Amino acid sequence: MQHLPILPILIPMLAAVLMLLPPLSNSISRHRIFAVLVMIVLIIASTWLLLTSHQQGTQLYILGGWEPPFGIALVADRLSTMMVLLTSVLGLAAQLYACAGDDNDGMYFHPLFMFQIMGVNGAFLTGDIFNLFVFFEVLLIASYALLIHGGGKQKTKATVHYVILNLVGSSIFLFALGILYGTFGSLNIEDMANKVTLLGEQEQALAKAGGLLLLVVFGLKAALLPLHFWLPNTYAAASAPVAALFAIMTKVGVYSILRVHTTIFGEDAGALASIIIPWLWPLALITLIMGAIGVLASPSLRLTAANLVIVSVGTLMLATAMQREAATSAALYYIIHSTLITGALFLIADLISKQRGKAEDRYVSARKMHHGKVIGITFFIAALTVVGMPPFSGFVGKILILQAARGMSEMVWVWPVLLIAGLACLIAISRAGTTLFWRSSGKSSNDVPISRLKLIAVALLLSASPLLVMFGGPITDFTNLAAAQLHDEGQSVYAMLPEGDK
């Protein structure tokens, strides 16, 4: 189907608009049914797109018939379609969880949710760096509204910080785009990759400044070290389904770094090759260390989960800094695992917090949970996975990254930091588990029923963990191919710049 690549953007957009119109507006139950149906359709479309792009090669969608490099193009290669499918699956789970009641705290939860999905999908699919900015703004403005959804002092405070930071980030993004357009004369990612070796000496300095500014922007989105302070409070303040959906937002930053700094400023970029690597190594290592310290210091499960997001970003950045196909492939596997599992952890934190009454999810002794067994099992699986213990996917992901680092001079740094951070997470999570489930006093608390939808949502996300191990072979084959496609200029450039029409 010719229009397949644009469907992951169009479906949520149209759905969001339809939900604001009469037959669906004003009825939360109709919103819920419609939204879940749309998400399922979206998953089908994303899977279809992934298979098409996997089997028939990169799909190029030229909007309005304006040929790249001048017009806007969508590029559906293996990496971007994988991320789109990941977004849809996470979106469905977060949505199911929200349908159990969190969406009724304020107006228009589902339309905002759809706009957010549209922005994320757009950011993954676009082949044009200015369009990336536009989709960043789409997903950001939806995320501002989702973050403050439901209201309350804590949320307002977190949102003020988040919005101001991101607006400054957007300004820097535009400065970077201006510099890059001024030097390259093009904003199409693949076209820029072609032109990067042709730059004059003076322009190279400017282009380098632009490329590093982009690292600042993406680092802010991804919560790379000096720019990560917003993350824990923001994620802890958001309502559970929103926090779960936000698990993909840092990955948008990681994806952008991978895409821009591997394709444009990659190894073949002549004088500008690998400009971010000297920065990325120390930043990634310190991010990982600070994330691990944060996990140890967190006073509540939500903050632990938020700090685990930082740990995962540090791990992914380490793999990116290695600049090898094997490392990128490992990073892609780790992205799937960490997104789904941290999402699940936010949902579980909310389940626990609802059960424990006033103690919420803080690590203090409280009365026993009424549904302790069910929640305990889910927590146990999520904890083992996120820490990276066998037989779950975190273990495989970590092994892949460690293996990719073999034979590099930086291995002396990567292995100990990664393993010690894992140990810190293990200690923190086991402390969390013992406090939450065993340090209880008195009778069990009042029977707060758990909605079946919530459990289904958590189970959906958690099932990813064993599935990622069981189908580890095909999945790593796929990520290997995706990484090869990203690193090999020949595979992507010619797919993008058509001779004649395509």
Partner 1 sequence: MEAIYAFCVGILTTCGFFLVLRGRTFTVVIGLTLLSYAVNLFLFASGRLKLDSAAVLGQSAEYSDPLPQALVLTAIVIGFAMTAFVVILAMRSRADQGNDHVDGQIRLPLNQTHISDKRNG
Footprint on this chain of partner 1 (rule: CB under 8 A):
70, 130, 134, 137, 141, 144, 148, 151-153, 156-157, 159-161, 163-164, 167-168, 170-171, 174-175, 177-179, 181-182
Cβ-based nearer residue to partner 1, 70 or 494? 70
Cβ-based nearer residue to partner 1, 108 or 363? 108
Please give the full DSSP string across 123-185, using - where no structure is assigned.
HHHB-BHHHHHHHHHHHHHHHHHHHTTT--HHHHHHHHHHHHHHHHHHHHHHHHHHHHHHHHS
Tokens describing residue 356: 């424990």
Cβ-based nearer residue to partner 1, 210 or 372? 210
Q: How far is the CB of 289 from partner 1 (least distance, A)?
A: 26
Q: Are 277 and 285 in contact (CB under 8 A)?
A: no
Q: How far is the CB of 204 from partner 1 (least distance, A)?
A: 17
Cβ-based nearer residue to partner 1, 163 or 374? 163
Q: How far is the CB of 241 from partner 1 (least distance, A)?
A: 21
Q: Rounded CA gap, 223 and 253, in Å?
A: 8
Per the listing, tokens 């058509």 go with 498
Cβ-based nearer residue to partner 1, 95 or 159? 159
Give the β-pairing of 73-76 and 440-444.
Answer: unpaired
Tokens describing residue 366: 């409280």
Cβ-based nearer residue to partner 1, 25 or 170? 170
Cβ-based nearer residue to partner 1, 133 or 363? 133
Cβ-based nearer residue to partner 1, 57 or 71? 71
Q: How far is the CB of 145 from partner 1 (least distance, A)?
A: 8
Cβ-based nearer residue to partner 1, 183 or 378? 183
Q: Rounded CA gap, 337 and 392, in Å?
A: 10
Cβ-based nearer residue to partner 1, 137 or 360? 137
Tokens describing residue 50: 């992934």
Checking 224-230 for CB contacts under 8 A at 24+ apart, the result is 224/253, 224/283, 224/284, 224/287, 224/313, 224/317, 225/283, 225/286, 225/287, 225/290, 225/314, 226/283, 228/287, 228/290, 228/291, 228/310, 228/313, 230/161, 230/162, 230/165
Cβ-based nearer residue to partner 1, 179 or 386? 179
Write the burial class of residue 497 (CB in 10 Å: 0-12 exposed, 13-18 middle, 19+ buried). Answer: middle
Q: Rounded CA gap, 51 and 500, in Å?
A: 26
Q: How far is the CB of 486 from partner 1 (least distance, A)?
A: 26
Q: How far is the CB of 188 from partner 1 (least distance, A)?
A: 11
Tokens describing residue 164: 């101001």
Tokens describing residue 96: 């199911």
Q: How far is the CB of 437 from partner 1 (least distance, A)?
A: 34
What's the distance, CA 312 to chain centroid? 10
Q: How far is the CB of 354 from partner 1 (least distance, A)?
A: 24
Cβ-based nearer residue to partner 1, 151 or 282? 151
**Backbone angles phi and psi of 76, in degrees to 5:** -105, 85
Closest CA to 82 of 336, 462, 315: 336
Q: How far is the CB of 271 from partner 1 (least distance, A)?
A: 21
Q: How far is the CB of 168 from partner 1 (least distance, A)?
A: 6
Q: Rounded CA gap, 92 and 37, in Å?
A: 9
Q: How far is the CB of 68 from partner 1 (least distance, A)?
A: 13
What's the distance, CA 345 to chain centroid? 14
Identify each DSSP E strand in 361-489 by its residue range: 366-368, 440-444
Q: How far is the CB of 242 from partner 1 (least distance, A)?
A: 16
Q: Are 95 and 241 in contact (CB under 8 A)?
A: yes
The residue type of 136 is F
